[in-house]
């Protein structure tokens, strides 16, 4: 029997206050216990309309402020959120499942990203070209787009939101966000805290609900000028099509199947640690997780053994229990999908070296747990190689040399991140130039920096987040020519 009390929540935060959505209630489940603890009504098309109208109204004043003033206001609001991390951390763990430690890392990073763009506010510039013709000058103006719809998945609800919110707001846009239907609560409270911290009403609004109803209504809304989306590749493709009428701008941060190449001259201990961290962090539910490892034959046994040993040692447990290193998968369906991908892979070959099913601990039976899993040397056309595995299961293959490793790395529809471990500068450079991906880490953990642009190639997406480049995706430019009579 459930021990959780089910809390009813209004479901939206619009124009500076809570707003009661008109749609059917959606359950919010604790992935560590499998119990429903809140119900949130979904936003209908009418609720989305109310949010977009509020954002459009607020945009007139917000975009007219000096960019430094917008930065100042957002910075103060971000500090108010930071002062409430102790409240947000357990809430994120409860609805998402991740450990308390990982919730704190995520939320701290979300605030950092807001502050990063606050710091960049005064750098937002256009351009001037003198002497286009005798006595004729050109300038390039930059203008905000208007209302931005931000659609975010459940694996990192707050950082993926702030990657959009920060450059959008600093550039003078207003935002309506839709978190995943299964993780509405932290985002709603985050929005409320920003408002308490001084962000003007209507500048940032949140509508919760399902992707198919609320998300679609947001993408289709005629006043929404841009959709900033993070999620799976199939839904990204749908969104690109839905956004075509009216030529809405889109940035699409989609799925990945990031390869890691370990050469025979690498620091093998460090590489094995990076593989384990890169695959099992956040229970493997990260777009940038390491999802395929290619290791040189001569050092393969050592690496495979080290990674399998690390997987077996990881302490799997409920996110809110001290000492847990890896929490549950986010939903039962997510666990089923990962289990299916592993099972279909093993049917075709490969050796299971760790995990391969839920952990044996009876305390974890009710939650959506799956043990850290390592499979060595399956064929190259199995689901774990060709599909995105969004959970804690890692395939490792032996390769003859760098050419084979790069060819295997690129034999994927995805092109998000990648990593290479070698002490040879020539190999590192070749890999960085030849791997088809938006990011390559060399002898480094796969960590995303706000300073560098991030975005996928091929089916991993379109456009960039992070870096000063993100501003390009939240502004339109206009060329103005001053003739000789001006
Ligand atoms: P989904 O694409 O299923 O969902 C993402 C968001 O889109 C959710 O808010 C969802 O709502 C919403 N949505 C779903 N259908 C529609 C629709 N038709 N119109 C508008 N919105 C819609 O992704 P997952 O939840 O499965 O998230 C995991 C995926 O995200 C993985 O593929 C992962 O690689 C990718 N990802 C990419 C990152 C990157 O930066 N490249 C970073 C992190 C994750 P709801 O859930 O309520 O249905």
Question: How far apart are the CA of 104 and the centre of ligand 1, in A?
Answer: 22
Distance CA 417, CA 423 (A): 20
Phi first, then psi: give them for residue 425, nearest 5 degrees.
-60, -35
CA torsion 144-66-139-173 (nearest 10°) is 0
Which residue puts its alpha carbon closest to atom 40 of ligand 1?
Answer: 253
> Given CA atoms 437, 439, 440, 445 in this order, what sign does their dihedral have?
negative
411 to 23, 111, 387, 405, 427: CA distances (angstroms) = 43, 37, 11, 10, 19
Average pLDDT of every residue of the chain: 97
Distance CA 84, CA 300 (A): 46
The token duo for 241 is 């099509």
Question: How far apart are the CA of 379 and the centre of ligand 1, in A?
Answer: 29
Residue 327's nearest CA partner among 97, 127, 139, 158 is 97
pLDDT at 7 (0 to 100) = 87
For a pocket test of ligand 1, which of 48, 153, 241, 330 has the largest count of ligand atoms closer than 8 A to its C-beta?
A: 153
The token duo for 178 is 């839709």
Distance CA 67, CA 147 (A): 17
Which residue puts its alpha carbon closest to atom 14 of ligand 1?
Answer: 211
Per-residue pLDDT reduced to its tens digit, 166-204: 999 999 999 999 999 999 999 999 999 999 999 999 999
What is the model's pTM? Answer: 0.96
Question: How far apart are the CA of 236 and the centre of ligand 1, in A?
Answer: 8
pLDDT at 423 (0 to 100) = 98
Number of other CB atoms surrounding residue 259 within 10 Å:
30
Longest dimension (CA), the chain: 82
pLDDT at 3 (0 to 100) = 57
Read off the pLDDT band of 302 (50, 70, 90).
very high
Question: Per-residue pLDDT for 2 more than 60?
Answer: no
Catalytic residues: 164, 253, 287, 465
Which residue puts its alpha carbon closest to atom 43 of ligand 1?
Answer: 287
Question: How far apart are the CA of 352 and the centre of ligand 1, in A?
Answer: 30
CB 17 within 8 A of CB 202: no
pLDDT at 53 (0 to 100) = 98
Distance CA 416, CA 458 (A): 8
R_g (Cα) of the chain, nearest Å: 23
CB 424 within 8 A of CB 432: no
Question: How far apart are the CA of 303 and the centre of ligand 1, in A?
Answer: 33
- Label residues 160-192 b or e (16+ Cβ within 10 Å = b): bbbbbbbbbbbbbbbbbbbbbbbbbbbbbbbbb
Residue 50's nearest CA partner among 9, 28, 17, 24 is 17
The token duo for 337 is 């999908």
Question: Per-residue pLDDT for 486 more than 60?
Answer: no
Distance CA 287, CA 285 (A): 7
Per-residue pLDDT reduced to its tens digit, 253-285: 999 999 999 999 999 999 999 999 999 999 999
Read off the pLDDT band of 484 (50, 70, 90).
confident
CB 260 within 8 A of CB 276: no
Q: State the closest ligand 1 atom to the C-alpha of 231, by its place in the atom list counted from 1.
A: 30
Number of other CB atoms surrounding residue 309 within 10 Å:
14
Overall average pLDDT of the 290-310 stretch: 98
pLDDT > 90: percent of the chain: 97
Question: Per-residue pLDDT for 124 more than 90?
Answer: yes
pLDDT at 285 (0 to 100) = 98
Per-residue pLDDT reduced to its tens digit, 347-388: 999 999 999 999 999 999 999 999 999 999 999 999 999 999
Question: For the chain, first and last CA: distance in Å?
Answer: 78
CB 227 within 8 A of CB 257: no
Question: Per-residue pLDDT for 1 more than 50?
Answer: no
What is the pairing mode between strands 290-296 and 258-262? parallel
**Cβ within 8 Å of residue 369, ≥6 positions away:** 316, 327, 328, 329, 335, 358, 359
Which residue puts its alpha carbon closest to atom 39 of ligand 1?
Answer: 253
For the chain, count helices (H), then strands (E).
14, 23
- Count of alpha carbons within 13 Å of 316, Cβ hemisphere only? 27
Which residue puts its alpha carbon closest to atom 12 of ligand 1?
Answer: 211
Question: Per-residue pLDDT for 477 more than 50?
Answer: yes
Per-residue pLDDT reduced to its tens digit, 203-233: 999 999 999 999 999 999 999 999 999 999 9
pLDDT at 485 (0 to 100) = 74
68 to 56, 285, 301: CA distances (angstroms) = 21, 36, 56
Overall average pLDDT of the 439-465 stretch: 97
Question: Which residues lie with the beta carbon below 6 Å from any ligand 1 atom?
Answer: 151-155, 160, 178, 180-181, 210-212, 215-216, 219, 230-232, 235, 238-239, 253-256, 287, 388, 390, 416, 456, 461
Read off the pLDDT band of 294 (50, 70, 90).
very high
Q: Which DSSP helix (H) or strand (E) runs through 223?
A: none
Per-residue pLDDT reduced to its tens digit, 61-83: 999 999 999 999 999 999 999 99
The token duo for 386 is 């060709």
């Amino acid at each position: 029997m459930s021990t959780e009390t089910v809390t009813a929540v209004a479901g939206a935060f619009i124009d500076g206050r809570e707003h009661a959505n008109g749609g059917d209630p959606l359950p919010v489940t604790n992935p560590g216990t499998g119990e429903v603890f809140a119900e949130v009504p979904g936003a209908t098309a009418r609720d989305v309309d109310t949010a977009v109208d509020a954002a459009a109204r607020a945009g007139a004043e917000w975009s007219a402020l000096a960019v430094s003033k917008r930065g100042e206001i957002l910075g103060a609001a971000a500090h108010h959120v930071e002062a409430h991390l102790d409240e947000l951390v357990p809430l994120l763990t409860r609805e998402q499942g991740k450990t308390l430690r990982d919730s704190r890392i995520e939320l701290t990073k979300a605030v950092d990203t807001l502050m990063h763009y606050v710091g960049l506010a005064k750098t937002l510039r256009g351009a001037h070209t003198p002497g286009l013709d005798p006595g004729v000058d050109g300038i390039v103006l930059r203008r905000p787009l208007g209302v931005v719809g931000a659609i975010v998945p459940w694996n990192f609800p707050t950082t993926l939101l702030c990657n959009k919110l920060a450059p959008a707001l600093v550039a003078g846009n207003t935002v309506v966000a839709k978190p995943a239907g299964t993780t509405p609560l932290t985002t709603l409270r985050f929005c409320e805290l920003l408002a308490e911290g001084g962000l003007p009403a209507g500048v940032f609004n949140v509508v919760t609900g399902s992707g198919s109803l609320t998300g679609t209504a947001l993408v289709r809304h005629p006043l929404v000028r841009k959709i900033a989306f993070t999620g799976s590749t199939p839904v990204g493709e749908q969104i690109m099509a839905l956004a075509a009428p009216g030529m809405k701008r889109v940035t699409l941060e989609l799925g990945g199947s990031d390869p890691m190449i370990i050469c025979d001259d690498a620091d093998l201990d460090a590489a094995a640690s990076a593989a384990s961290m890169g695959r099992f962090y956040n229970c493997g539910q990260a777009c940038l997780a390491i999802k395929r490892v290619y290791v040189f034959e001569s050092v393969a046994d050592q690496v495979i053994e080290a990674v399998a040993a690390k997987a077996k040692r990881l302490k799997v447990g409920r996110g809110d229990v001290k000492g847990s290193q890896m929490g549950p998968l986010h939903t039962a369906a997510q666990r089923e999908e990962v289990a299916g991908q592993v099972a279909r892979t093993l049917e075709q070959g490969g050796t299971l070296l760790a995990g391969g099913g839920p952990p044996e601990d009876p305390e974890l039976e009710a939650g959506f747990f799956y043990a850290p899993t390592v499979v060595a040397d399956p064929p190259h056309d199995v689901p774990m190689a060709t599909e995105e595995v969004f959970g804690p299961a890692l395939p490792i293959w032996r390769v003859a040399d760098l050419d084979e490793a790069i060819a295997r790395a690129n034999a994927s529809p995805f092109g998000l991140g990648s990593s290479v471990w070698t002490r040879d500068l020539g190999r590192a450079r070749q890999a960085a130039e030849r791997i088809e991906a938006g990011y390559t880490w060399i002898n480094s953990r796969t960590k995303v920096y706000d300073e560098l642009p991030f975005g996928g190639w091929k089916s991993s997406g379109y456009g960039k987040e992070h870096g000063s480049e993100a501003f390009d995706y939240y502004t339109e430019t206009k060329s103005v020519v001053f003739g000789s009579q001006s």
